[in-house]
Amino acid sequence: MSLKLFQETFGEAPAVSGWTPGRVNLIGEHIDYNGGAVLPMALPLGVDMALTPIEDDLAQIVSAQFEGVAVRQLSETASHQWSDYILGALAQVSPAQGWHAAIDSSIPFGSGLSSSAAVSVGALRLAREALHLPKLSAKEIALTAQSIENNFIGVPCGVMDQMAVSALAPGEAMLLDTQTLAFEQIAIPEDWCFVVHHSGVHRELSDGRYAERRATCFAAAEKLGVNLLCQAPISALEIENNLTDIERQRAAHAITEHARVIAAKAALDQRNLSGFGKLMIESHASMRDDFDITTPAIDQLVDVSVECGAIGARMTGGGFGGCIVSLVDAGHKESWRKRFEERAAGAKFIC
């Protein structure tokens, strides 16, 4: 827990503390920056954090997951260190205010379950509370956290992760319109169970592959005459245009993935377990074949999950590693999990 870590490191109780959930994206990958709808769910895993403002211009940050105390100037730029996300949030709230900070995360690093968004959102809320600043709405916090990731960290992500961890409680899902940021909170049926396993392949979105796909999507949208790819009909890909083969593939994923999210929401409303599962499988195939963000290890895990009885399975998160999410009947979860983990020795159960 961050409270104990804070007291052991800094010799006093923190001024504020709190917890922010991670999220798993059930369906709707790489379309939050393309104007599509997305369907994330908050997890029981999260980031626990404790803060105290100090009379200094340094942020001294300790984590239960990393050794030592990171001592950072508030004026520093991001430098690919684990403390970058909390530093960016603290500097955004007050660029001259020093801090003692402790964090403890139950979200595996590089898993695609939004540990970075949880850190940014949690730090923004707690730092504002500690300095007695006006409380911001979930949407305002999410947009600020997104700007930190875009402008400080250098990852041109959309706003889905930040909205999900800012607005949802564990077990709640959200249909989010990423153009308007209007959202509907959704209760998952009691007999549905989403199970997350880590592939063992760790990911790093700041390595350029995420930005490359975003740029390709924007180029395709411009050639199709729309502001955002998800505004284009699928028929637009069938007419003569000057899209490159790669642009056509990326556009095909974005446009069809948006349609799958809308269909998935309808399946949820109708409690259509098999229909939702089928859409998850189609989503993974699109990420693999059109968007090229899966890995052979993850593709194999998805196949094994379905072969062992999952109704649906797909990679979740920005890609190139991380986790898969499987949909199983709640009554068969343990028997399915036993079969799956016997065959997928490299997979680690997350939640």
Catalytic annotation present for 207? no
The residue behind tokens 């052991």 is: 8
Inter-residue contact 202 to 321 (CB < 8 Å): yes
Report the DSSP beta bridge partners of residue 174.
Answer: 185
Burial of 100 (0-12, 13-18, 19+ CB in 10 A): buried
Inter-residue contact 3 to 13 (CB < 8 Å): yes
DSSP letters spanning 260-281: HHHHHHHHHHTT-HHHHHHHHH
Inter-residue contact 121 to 114 (CB < 8 Å): no
Residue in 56, 161, 290, 292 annotated catalytic:
161
Residue 37: half-sphere exposure toward Cβ, Cα within 13 Å:
19
CB atoms within 10 A of CB 238: 8
- The catalytic site residues sit at 161
